[in-house]
């Protein structure tokens, strides 16, 4: 059995806003083994980015961890390590800014490809130099050694090596995205968190870059969390999936389980809302009726209940437990066992 690299347990991250809280991430738990890819999917605003930043502690200053949240990376609990109990809000912990040990982990062990990475490079410096500087900030290497590594990375991600000395504005969108992937790989991290890495690109470039990321992930044996609202993206790349709805993980399992043996009504609806994964049939998309709840005032009971075609009284009253419907396959639904095998799944590429 592979060694657990990341163990997220009961992670709750809430934002303090005027007059209350936004319950962006609530009681989220999942594990990632070395070299494994997990797709974190859900509609816009459901808490995917907050989960990613909650792991790397790049959260906004009004974010708090609920006491009891754990983010254990390679045996070390980041939340205990670099947060302190909040003085103002009981039951919450606050991030210690510029925690030296946490800074060592970021980029070196865990790197992120941000949403909107297109603008991540500083326009006044050459792209290659920015990656070289990032390497030198963490490792004791000469300019020449760092440059050699950038050349190797450019070859790996498919950018002509002579582009190292160009400025960001001389790169196309796809090239900037590849450079960002090179940057994310530069320090041989154990984990890459990629937040909508290709959303801003055209479909052809998107496919090509995702294909390359999948190959790199295999070759470099790096673990990856791929955050996306597009379930078809993860179907091809991820070993396992975590489906998020309104701050909760509602279904987790292997990609095959979640796609083919769907056990949560929200995942069923999400699959119906996306084109057929294999693109063999062009089906009409079915938008999910209603809209996600306001996370500053989430509904009592199951957060999906107001939009769920299977909801019964209990769903509007009681928060559902997480039920294991098959080994390693979990659904947070009162009727998970009854619905398991009955819901419409999708096509995974397995
Ligand atoms: N600094 C903040 N203060 C208050 N609320 C916030 C803050 N950042 C995010 N939120 C809210 O937290 C919730 C989760 O946002 P998050 O960005 O994590 O979702 P997401 O699934 O990544 O969405 P998207 O794909 O649109 O980025 C949303 O309701 C969002 O409005």
Q: Which residue has the tokens 């109990």?
A: 85
Q: What does R_g of the chain's alpha carbons equal in angstroms?
A: 21
Mean pLDDT of all residues in 72-81: 95
Task: Find the DSSP H helices in the chain.
Answer: 48-56, 78-82, 100-105, 127-138, 143-157, 173-185, 203-220, 231-237, 255-260, 265-272, 313-317, 336-339
In contact, 37 and 217? CB cutoff 8 Å: yes
Q: Which two tokens stand for residue 310?
A: 């299977």
Give the distance (Å) from ligand 1 centre to CA of residue 166: 34
- pLDDT at position 345: 66
- pLDDT at position 349: 45
Give the relative orientation of helices 173-185 and 127-138 as an angle to the nearest 10 degrees: 10
Mean pLDDT of all residues in 41-45: 93
- pLDDT at position 29: 97
61 lines ligand 1 (CB under 6 A): no
Pocket probe for ligand 1: among 14, 21, 45, the residue whose CB has the most ligand atoms within 8 Å is: 45
Pocket probe for ligand 1: among 17, 20, 49, 57, the residue whose CB has the most ligand atoms within 8 Å is: 49
Q: For 208, what's the count of Cα atoms within 13 Å in the CB-facing half-sphere?
A: 13
- pLDDT at position 212: 81
Percentage, residues of the chain above pLDDT 90? 66
Q: What is the pLDDT of residues 178-218, one digit of tens each?
A: 899 889 889 889 999 999 888 777 788 788 888 888 888 88
Q: What is the 8-class DSSP label of residue 106? A: B
295 lines ligand 1 (CB under 6 A): yes
- pLDDT at position 283: 54
Give the distance (Å) from ligand 1 centre to CA of residue 52: 11
Q: Which two tokens stand for residue 122?
A: 């500083």
Q: For 113, what's the count of Cα atoms within 13 Å in the CB-facing half-sphere?
A: 30
| Stretch among 81-95, 157-171, 275-289, 333-347 having the lowest mean pLDDT | 275-289
Nearest CA to ligand 1 atom 30: 45
45 lines ligand 1 (CB under 6 A): yes
- pLDDT at position 277: 54
- pLDDT at position 348: 46
The ipTM value here is 0.97
Q: What is the pLDDT of residues 214-245, one digit of tens each?
A: 888 888 889 999 999 888 888 888 999 999 99
Q: What is the 8-class DSSP label of residue 324? A: E
Give the distance (Å) from ligand 1 centre to CA of residue 47: 6
Average pLDDT, the chain: 90
Q: What is the pLDDT of residues 77-110, one digit of tens each?
A: 999 999 999 999 999 999 998 888 898 898 889 9
Dihedral sign, Cα of residue 251, residue 253, residue 256, residue 262: negative
223-228 and 37-41: which strand pairing? parallel
Atom of ligand 1 nearest to the CA of 49: 22
C-alpha 113/C-alpha 119 separation (Å) is 11
- Using the predicted structure, report yes or no on whether residue 4 has a pLDDT greater than 50: yes
């Amino acid at each position: 059995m592979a060694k657990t690299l990341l163990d997220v347990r009961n992670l709750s991250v809430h934002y303090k806003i005027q007059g209350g809280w936004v319950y962006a991430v609530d009681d989220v738990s999942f594990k990632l083994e070395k070299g494994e890819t997990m797709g974190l999917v859900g509609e816009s605003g459901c808490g995917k980015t907050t989960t990613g930043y909650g792991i790397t502690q790049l959260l906004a200053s009004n974010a708090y961890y609920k006491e009891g949240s754990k983010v254990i990376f390679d045996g070390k609990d980041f939340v205990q390590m670099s947060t302190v109990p909040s003085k103002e809000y009981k039951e919450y912990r606050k991030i210690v800014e510029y925690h030296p040990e946490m800074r060592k982990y970021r980029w070196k062990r865990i790197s992120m490809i941000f949403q909107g990475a297109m603008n991540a490079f500083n326009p006044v410096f050459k792209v290659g130099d920015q990656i070289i500087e990032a390497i030198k900030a963490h490792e004791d290497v000469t300019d020449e050694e760092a440059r050699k590594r950038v050349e190797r990375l450019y070859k790996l991600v498919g950018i002509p090596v002579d582009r190292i000395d160009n400025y960001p504005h001389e790169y196309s969108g796809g090239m900037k995205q590849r450079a960002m992937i090179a940057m994310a790989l530069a320090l041989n991290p154990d984990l890459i968190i990629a937040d909508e890495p290709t959303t801003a690109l055209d479909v052809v470039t998107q496919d090509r870059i995702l294909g390359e990321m999948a190959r790199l992930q295999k070759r470099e044996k790096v673990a990856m969390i791929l955050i996306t609202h597009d379930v078809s993206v993860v179907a091809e790349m991820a070993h396992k999936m975590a489906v998020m709805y309104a701050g909760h993980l509602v279904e987790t399992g292997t990609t095959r389980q979640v796609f083919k043996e769907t056990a949560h009504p929200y995942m069923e609806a999400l699959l119906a809302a996306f084109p057929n994964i294999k693109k063999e049939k062009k089906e009409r998309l079915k938008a999910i009726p209603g809209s996600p709840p306001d996370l500053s005032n989430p509904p009592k009971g199951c957060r999906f209940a107001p939009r769920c075609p299977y909801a019964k009284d209990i769903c509007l009253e009681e928060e559902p437990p997480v039920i294991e419907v098959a080994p390693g396959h979990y659904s947070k639904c009162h009727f998970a066992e009854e619905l398991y095998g009955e819901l419409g799944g999708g096509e995974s590429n397995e």
